Amino acid sequence: MGQRVGTGRRTAKEGVCRRLAWSSAAFVASAMPLVLPRVAWATPPTQAAPPAPPTSPAAGASPQSALTERAHRGQVVPPAVDDVEQVCALLTSCDHLPIPASMVPTDFATCVRAIAGELASPGGVAFSLLIRECGLRANSCAELRSCGLRGANPAACAGRGKDNPAGYCDIDGRALSCFQGHVVGVRDCPRGGEQCSVREGQASCSLGPCPKEILEGAAPVCSASGTRILRCAHGVLNSLDCEAFGLICATSGASSGGGAACASPTATCSRTDTRCDGNVGVTCYNGHEVRVDCAAASMSCATVAPSGQAVGVCVAPPPAATGASTTCSGTAPARCDGATLRYCFAGQARSFLCKTLGFNRCISDASGARCG
């Protein structure tokens, strides 16, 4: 498969890509250009009354309909760690992925811990659609690459972004981010009734010029439809389609400096901790209640099994006392054992065979360990 190029290894020479913090807000913000909007052009609003919840996504409406339906109900169902291992093997090892390198840890073990933790947290309702829709479904680099391109030509960025990322609108109106001649980000503007434009070297989707009610640089507001977050930047109205996640736009409890945020259309709340309803963790995300089903991933809620190791708001059971070879501790990077990755997750020694996904070997360097 080879070493990742363009979207891959971050070196001192390639300092244009900065690592984003793996908090829910930071990861979701980095994934915004990867969202596939599903609603029509939104009418530029004034700051309106609280919006009514959108219609629940119909069953089978899209590949991620089950995920958006659960998010609409304020439910998070963490995936099994085996599924997270597969997506992290692809994310850390495949080359020329249309995904910003700063979104993905370079070490397999770090990736698994980060994604598993995020998907067992309330912020899982707004976790990257690309990771959920493409990453957790792909069985090869080709599948992940094709899904992430959203129909864009993989050669669309040829000759663009040689030294720094460069924005580009392709012939079908998609907003592409290019680096070293490769596509490192795609947003399909027409699907959301938006238009692509390039400002200060960055391509983005917008709803046209900013209306007088929304001032340049002001805090984000909700659209009149209650489905989008709107913000005026460089004279154009940028939007984020909360409905693509199965969420609404809400102002109660919005984080990141105030304004609007995506949230489930559930009861409002102001909790800063998590309570347990059996093995379901109940807490708040952007001011609205979210329930994390820890039992679905063979975990428990924290106060039900306090002796386990934390994974998001859940705890994994302590490893069985079957000898030192099956237990571990700490957050060390993965290591190579032939073509097998060995690492520690929630106190349990685990392994992933690279050949499972068609890789030939395991690679270990200063960036960590991954398949190759």
User: Is pLDDT of 30 > 60?
Assistant: no
Residue-averaged pLDDT of the chain: 80
264 neighbors 72 (Cβ within 8 angstroms): yes
| Residue 291 pLDDT | 97
Give me the pLDDT at residue 306, please: 67
The total number of structural domains that make up the chain: 1
* 228, 240 contact by CB (below 8 A): yes
Is residue 119 scored above 60 in pLDDT? Answer: yes
226 belongs to a structural domain: yes
CB of 261 closer than 8 Å to CB of 57: no
pLDDT for residue 211: 95
* pLDDT-derived band at 254, boundaries 50, 70, 90: low
Please name the residues in contact with 321: beta carbons below 8 A apart, sequence gap of 6 or more: 327
pLDDT for the residue 83: 94
Query: Quick check: is 304 in a domain?
Result: yes
Reported as a single tens digit per residue, the pLDDT across 266-291 is 999 988 889 999 999 999 999 999 99
The larger pLDDT score, comparing residue 50 to residue 225, is at 225
Give 283-343 as a DSSP string: EEETTEEEEEEGGGGT-EETTTSTTSEEETTEEEPPPPSS-GGGB--S-PPPEEETTEEEE
Please list the residues that pair with 239 across neighbouring strands. 230
In the block, residue with structure tokens 């090869």: 140
Per residue in 309-338, pLDDT (tens digit) is 899 999 998 876 555 456 687 789 999 999
Question: Residue 28: which pLDDT band, with cuts at 50, 70 and 90?
Answer: very low
Q: Determine, yes or no, domain membership for 328.
A: yes
Q: Which of 139-148, 194-203, 297-306 is predicted least confidently?
A: 297-306
Q: What is the pLDDT of residue 90?
A: 96
Residue 295 confidence (pLDDT) above 50: yes
The predicted-structure confidence for 207-238, as pLDDT tens digits, reads as follows 999 999 999 989 999 999 999 999 998 899 99
Identify whether 19 is part of a domain: no
Q: Determine contact, residues 241/226, Cβ cutoff 8 Å.
A: no
Q: Is residue 352 part of a domain?
A: yes
| pLDDT tens digit sequence for 139-149 | 999 999 999 99
Query: Would residue 10 count as lying in a domain?
Result: no
Between 295 and 270, the higher pLDDT residue: 295
Cα distance between residue 185 and residue 196, in whole Å: 13
Statement: residue 59 has pLDDT above 80: no
Tell me: pLDDT of 40 over 80.
Answer: no
Name the residue among 74, 72, 106, 101 with its Cα closest to residue 89: 106
Q: How confident is the model at residue 64 (pLDDT cuts 50, 70, 90)?
A: low
For residue 366, pLDDT beyond 60: yes
Of the listed ranges 110-114, 120-124, 251-255, the one predicted with least confidence: 251-255
| H-assigned helices in the chain | 24-31, 65-72, 81-93, 108-118, 129, 141-149
Domain span at residue 354 reads 24-51+64-371
DSSP one-letter code for 27:
H
Can you give the pTM of this predicted structure? 0.79
Residue 7 lies in a domain: no
- Tens of pLDDT, residue by residue over 124-181, are 999 988 888 888 889 999 999 999 999 999 999 999 999 999 999 999 999 999 999 9
Residue 67: pLDDT band (50, 70, 90) is confident
CA distance 121 to 39: 27
For residue 9, being part of any structural domain is answered with: no
Q: Is the model more confident about 43 or about 276?
A: 276
In this model, does residue 300 exceed pLDDT 90?
Answer: yes
Instruction: Tell me the CA distances in angstroms from 266 to 252, 288, 295, 312, 314, one per residue in order.
Output: 12, 6, 21, 21, 21
Helices 81-93 + 141-149 axis angle, to 10: 80
**Predicted local distance difference test score (pLDDT) of residue 55:** 38
pLDDT at 96 over 60: yes
Distance between CA atoms of 88 and 107, rounded to whole angstroms?
A: 9
Q: What does the pLDDT average to over 66-95?
A: 93
